[in-house]
Structure 1
């Protein structure tokens, strides 16, 4: 048995094509064009690449995008003032603060000052709370992208045993809520989890996001499990790998995402979907 590779790049391109077509229709009908503002604080090289990719994606589908590159010496209050101005800007429908922030910043405080109506990263307490109450609004991009990937492979995940390895606010915790919403029996493992391999062996679906290259070995997984790799790690030789030891899982799993080209492109696509959704919900449908 070898796994079928879930081509996130191919799936994301199809979704983005639909978004672009919808934007062209909006332009013809004189409707607002979705606008995304991205705030980058500091000189984190990975963050610079992510922000650049988001700008390129916006251009491809016809969104307005504005990038704010700020020094890490900027005060927290000045960042909050920028956010408040963007909250009032009628041409901006989505606001994203690129994470991680430099250590001196209170991340939760910064994110709470983004209007939940423009929170296209899905991290605002109101949006997380709505997802928790089974009433999703703007949803965290990576978990939403993963849910879309799972739908594309047309496997019924309701009732299956799903394991998330990694309990971050960005992926693990919102992913848990998404899987519960989808009807999975969900376990979330973290650094205090005992006997992790036992949980891995019992899982029909494994989603891993811990930042440890090639951590998950195929000998631990159940035959036919679905493996979703969120990790992006650059080795000393420059090669980019995930948190999954690809080949050992590939010969045992039923489906697997590659790195790169799996979850990453869907994260950016989910961001575009959220921005379009926010534009339509809070502008087109505004009474």
Structure 2
């Protein structure tokens, strides 16, 4: 039976460290969250981030726009925040209404305030092995592995999914850590032949319970990054948890795994951005 990699436990320790560091700073680091529309899941994520900021002593401002807000209107606000010295970091909370140009918004953010790590400059630095502000979920995954002393150096690591939010930056982080990395995506032929050889399997495909035990190597570490709802409305990951846990050595639960680490990672990026902007040595 697999050991559970508890994101709540690991993130709590990380947040305590962030709180300790933030308590020594004046003025306080500040995160701005830009949100538009009324997506229910998005509102839950926003509340979690606002609550975490409050608990850690990081200022947080939520700018919620109606679904009718235009790309130009949101871009104008981002450019204003770029010039605001009181703002340490900002994110555009996804999803946004379909007519909004999300890429344009993300690329408009000042790279030193890019708490989500999505700007081209920060992505390029990561690919070059010089990470600065890294996408929150992949950074959270790496911190979770570190918390449980799971070393990827020289290991066969397979990342399922190649989005710029999770898959691509996670693959880059793993390569930077000395892992042998292969990426599986929707066009990959016979993905099970690859995933079943992975020492570490990272799943970020957005398909509920798609990965079964037959796709997993005996004793593998399985990191389920998916967050879905099944046909009964129950939250689940991309892996068939009940089956895969019988074969894996370690596995993240959904919920209670990677999601907790993502929020902590966002705050860590905000703190790091604050220190860079104020020329304070970062850890």
Same fold per superposition (TM over 0.5): yes
> Which residue number corresponds to residue 27 of structure 2?
32
**What displacement does 1:151 show?**
1.1
Aligned length: 281
Secondary structure at the counterpart of residue 214 of structure 2: helix
Once the 2 structures are TM-superposed, how far is the Cα of residue 156 of structure 1 from its aligned partner? 2.3
* Unmatched 5+ stretches in structure 2: none
The structure 1 residue matched to 2:86, chosen from 74, 83, 91, is: 91
SS at structure 2 position matched to 1:96: strand
**In the alignment, which residue of structure 1 is the partner of 2:113?**
118
What does residue 21 of structure 1 align with?
Answer: 20
Q: Is the contact made by 1:160 and 1:204 (CA closer than 8 Å) also made in structure 2?
A: yes
Say whether 1:10 aligns with 2:9: yes
Q: Is 2:28 the partner of 1:49?
A: no
Task: Give the Cα separation in 2 of the matches to 1:242 and 1:24.
Answer: 35
Q: Deviations over 1:106-154 (max 9, x none)?
A: 2211111100000000000000000011001000000000001111221
Match among 261, 268, 271 for residue 273 of structure 1: 268
Distance 2:27 2:124 in 1: 28
How far did residue 78 of structure 1 move?
1.1
- Report how far residue 238 of structure 1 moved: 3.1
**Following TM superposition, by how much is the alpha carbon of 1:237 offset from its aligned partner in structure 2, in angstroms?**
2.7
TM-score by structure 1 length? 0.95
Structure 1 gap ranges (5+): none
The SS at the match of 1:259 is coil
The offset of 1:247, in angstroms, is: 1.6
CA drift of 1:239 comes to 1.7
How many angstroms does 1:284 deviate by?
Answer: 4.1
**Paired residue for 2:255?**
260
Given the two structures, how large is their TM-score scaled by the length of structure 2? 0.96
Give yes or no for contact 1:217–1:244 (8 Å, CA) kept in 2.
yes
Paired residues of 1:32 and 1:279 also in contact (CA < 8 A): no
